[in-house]
Structure 1
Amino acid sequence: MKNMKRQADLKGGIIVPLTVPDGTKSGDIIALSATLYGIAGTDGVTADAFKKGEHPQGLKQGQASVLLPGVAYSFEAPAADLAGVALFAPVYWTNATKKYGAAGDVKVGWKIGASEIGARANQ
């Protein structure tokens, strides 16, 4: 798939950098929406750790590496299609218009970025 961004690791999901609540520790469950959760793979990056450079590479202050269990891969979609979809909300595909959105013919996954959809191997 030419638009694929990430693919599931051996833990059964993709790992993405996400903003997490203050005090998040590795192993904590992160409620992202009513239908999607993650598991912190690293502690959340504190301001002090970020300032000292004592944080995992690629993470920003307030972020952690988060495993999205069951999400097999992610792919790019037009940001304009996803503009009306809340972050971590379900994303649907509409056959007639060939577009993604908050409603449609089939659920394809969840919005995990401005133009990124995280999808399960089979909904």
Structure 2
Amino acid sequence: MKNRKHWAYTGGSIAVALVVPAGTKSGDLVKLGADDLYGHAETDQATADMVAKGTAPQGLVENQATVFLPGIVESIGVPAAAIAAVAAFGKVYLKADKTYGAAPADGLHIGYKLNATTIALRAN
């Protein structure tokens, strides 16, 4: 699949680097946005000091942690304009014309907006 970004090979869930609330520690449950998306922090949040000293978990930038997303089995890349109307970590709906929307009336709830160009697809 040309736009696939992350996926769980075993049918499980994915873990990705995400901006998390200040003070997040490994093992914390993390609320993401206002639409009931949550995750389980696998690393501590990378601080500016950790990044400057090179002690932040690999691949993380300031304010990010690696977050396991239960029930999210894959993420896909889409053009930023396609999901511009959806709030950060907001629910994404698939419309009948195969475009994306931000409201239940738009159609099928397929997942959540992870960033400007990524949709996290939920398990059915």
Structure-2-length-normalised TM-score: 0.89
Q: CA deviation at 1:2?
A: 1.9
Tell me the amino acid that sits aligned with residue 98 of structure 1: K
Partner of 1:77: 78
Structure 1 outlier segments of 4+, above 6 Å: none
Whether 1:98 aligns to 2:98 is yes
In structure 1, list runs of 5 or more residues that go unmatched.
none
Name the SS of the counterpart of 2:112 in structure 1: strand
State the Cα RMSD in Å: 1.6
The percent of aligned pairs where both chains have the same amino acid is 50
Shift in alpha-carbon separation, 1:15–1:116, aligned structure 2, 3 A: same
Contact 2:35–2:91, Cα closer than 8 Å, also in 1: no
Name the SS of the counterpart of 1:57 in structure 2: coil
Q: CA deviation at 1:34?
A: 3.3
Deviations along 1:29-55, one digit per CA (max 9) or x if unpaired, are: 100133210110000112221111011
In structure 2, list runs of 5 or more residues that go unmatched.
none
Structure-1-length-normalised TM-score: 0.90
Q: CA deviation at 1:61?
A: 1.1
Tell me the amino acid that sits aligned with residue 3 of structure 1: N
Contact 2:3–2:77, Cα closer than 8 Å, also in 1: yes
